[in-house]
Amino acid sequence: QSALTQPASVSGSPGQSITISCTGTSSDVGAYNHVSWYQQHPGKVPKLMIYDVSNRPSGVSDRFSGSKFDNTASLTISGLQAEDEADYYCSSYTNRDTWVFGGGTKLTVL
Amino acid sequence: QVQLVQSGAEVKEPGASVKVSCRASGYIFSDYYMHWVRQAPGQGLEWMGWINPNSGGKQYAQKFQGRVTMTRDTSISTAFMELSRLTYDDTAVYYCARVPRDVGTAMFDYWGQGTLVTVSS
């Protein structure tokens, strides 16, 4: 199972919006609405930000949103804030009853 | 409150095995699959496998087949992950994370604090 494809890095200025893509295949991202996104600050435990493509857990800012088209899922962060600077990972359930992560994207807030 | 508390850091020699535990509290242990995810220094997250605490059923990533064993002890709400024939590339932080058994949703909603396993001679 190959890792999902994410850009290595993205950046944006405070107040701007950015989008991180996550490309898989018809066996994972394209097959199920079970894509989730995680935020990880250095030295910290990953935190769930989006689940099942577009759902936000309680307590997660509505500046975070998710979507999917075909084999590509996306995470959008609007109104960028300094605290959003972190690594972001997507994950998907697969048709082999396994899970797979993306390689991760480093978000820099300029 | 939900908590996943993992065992402490380990240092192992190449070729040895390591067993990491993950004690769950604050929820019904059997209602959630337990997954294991690892992260090598400076690298991304890598999914290793899951165990169903209710049935003991499990599924491993192909990469770890034959080398990983996931078990659980429902009497103490604890999951275990044992990795054998360690190499330097197995140096990583190992996390446990739960996923609801509800097939309508799939997410790692709570994570353990991580266990650093260092392979060194």
Mean pLDDT of A32-37: 96
- The span from the CA of A8 to the CA of A81, in Å, is 20
Query: For the segment A59-82, what is each residue's pLDDT rounded down to a tens digit?
Result: 999 999 999 999 999 999 999 999
Measured CA to CA, the distance from residue A19 to residue A67 in angstroms comes to 10
* Predicted local distance difference test score (pLDDT) of residue B89: 97
Q: Which two tokens stand for residue A90?
A: 């997507």
A64 touches chain B (CB under 8 A): no
How would DSSP label each residue in A22-65? EE--TTTTTT-S-EEEEEE-TTS--EEEEBTTTBPPTTS-TTEE
CB B90 within 8 A of CB B119: yes
pLDDT in tens, B91-118: 999 999 999 988 778 899 999 999 999 9
Find which of B47, B65, B68 to mutate to test the A interface (most A CBs within 10 Å of its CB).
B47
> Cβ–Cβ contacts within 10 Å for residue B104, how many?
8
Q: pLDDT value at position A2?
A: 81
Nearest to B114 among A45, A91, A104 (CB): A45
Query: In a 10 Å sphere around its CB, with 0-12 CB exposed, 13-18 middle and 19+ buried, how is residue B109 labelled?
Result: middle
Task: Convert the pLDDT of each residue in B46-74 to its tens digit.
Answer: 999 999 999 999 999 999 999 999 999 99
From chain A residues 65-104, the ones with a CB under 8 A of any chain B CB are 87, 89, 91, 93, 96-104
> Inter-chain contact B62–A1, Cβ cutoff 8 Å?
yes
> Which of the four pLDDT bands, split at 50, 70 and 90, describes residue B15?
very high
Distance of CA B71 to the CA centre of its chain: 10
Contact B40, B91 (CB under 8 A): yes
Question: Which residues of chain B lie closer than 8 angstroms to A52, CB-CB?
Answer: 105-107
- Chain A residue numbers with beta carbons less than 8 Å from the beta carbon of B44 are 3, 87, 89, 101-104
Q: How many Å apart are CA B18 and CA B85, to the nearest integer?
A: 9
